[in-house]
Amino acid sequence: MHKQPDLPSKRLFFALPCEPAQRRAIAQWRNTLGHLEGRPIAGENFHLTLMFLGEVAVSELPGIYAAAARVCVPGEPLRIRLDQLQAWHRAGMLVLVPGAPAPALLQRVYALHQAMLALGFADVPREYRAHLSLVRDFHAPVPEADIAPDFTLDARRVVLFESHKGRYRALAQWPLEP
C-alpha cells in the first residue's frame, strides 16, 4: 500500500545488527556443524529482524525516521541470548533463536510495530519470532551440534536497513543505550 508505481522506493527492514567479532564467532560455530544443505548466509548479513517494512516510497522515509526516533530511545540495553538451533521448515531456514523469552526485546518490537502501524503499515506480523538466520533453503533436520550454541547479542542500536540485491545498507540508526 505504501509503494506507488513509478515512485522511487527502497526495500526496508528494522533490525539489530550483529557486530563483526560476533559475526565471525557465529560463522565459525556454524562451520563446526559440518556440511549443511542449503545456502549459508554471509556472516556480514547476520542480524536480528525487528520489523520488515518491504518496498517503501522514499518520500516516506522522513516520517519513518521520526516515528522510529520516538520509540527507539535509550533505555534498558538489549542482551539477547541466542542458544537454540532450530530448523524452520516452512521458511526453509536454519536459525538461532532465544531459548528463553526475551521480554525486553518484545517490548521494543511491539513499540516499533505500533509506531509503524500508526504510519499506515498494516501488514504487521501476527506473531513475532526473534531469530538470526544462518542458512536458507534448509530442509533437513536440525543438525547435531558438538558445541552447543550460546551467543549473546549485545544490541546497542536499532538500524533501519535497505536491502538491495542480497546486500544490506544501514540508512539510519538509533542508540539503545544512554
The half-sphere exposure of 157 on its side-chain side, counting CA atoms within 13 A, is 12
Q: Work out how close the CB of 146 gets to ligand ATP at its nearest, in angstroms, rounded to a whole number.
A: 27
Q: Cell 521448515 appears where?
A: 89
| From 45-53, 66-74, 98-106, 109-117, span contacting ligand ATP (CB under 6 A) | 45-53
* Type of residue found at 84: Q
Query: Which stretch in 44-52, 56-64, 72-80, 106-114 sits in contact with ligand ATP by CB under 6 A?
Result: 44-52
φ, ψ at 116 (rounded to 5°): -75, -35
What 3-state class would DSSP assign to 174? strand
Q: Are 155 and 48 in contact (CB under 8 A)?
A: yes
Which of 11, 81, 156, 157 touches ligand ATP by CB under 6 A? Answer: 11
Decide: 4 and 57 in contact? Cβ < 8 Å: yes
Which one, 34 or 78, has the nearer CB to ligand ATP?
A: 78
Which residue among 9, 52, 63, 156 contacts ligand ATP (CB under 6 A)? Answer: 52
Determine which residue in the list 9, 84, 86, 163 makes contact with ligand ATP, applying CB under 6 A. 163
Binding residues (CB under 6 A) for ligand ATP: these are: 11, 13, 45, 49, 52, 163, 166
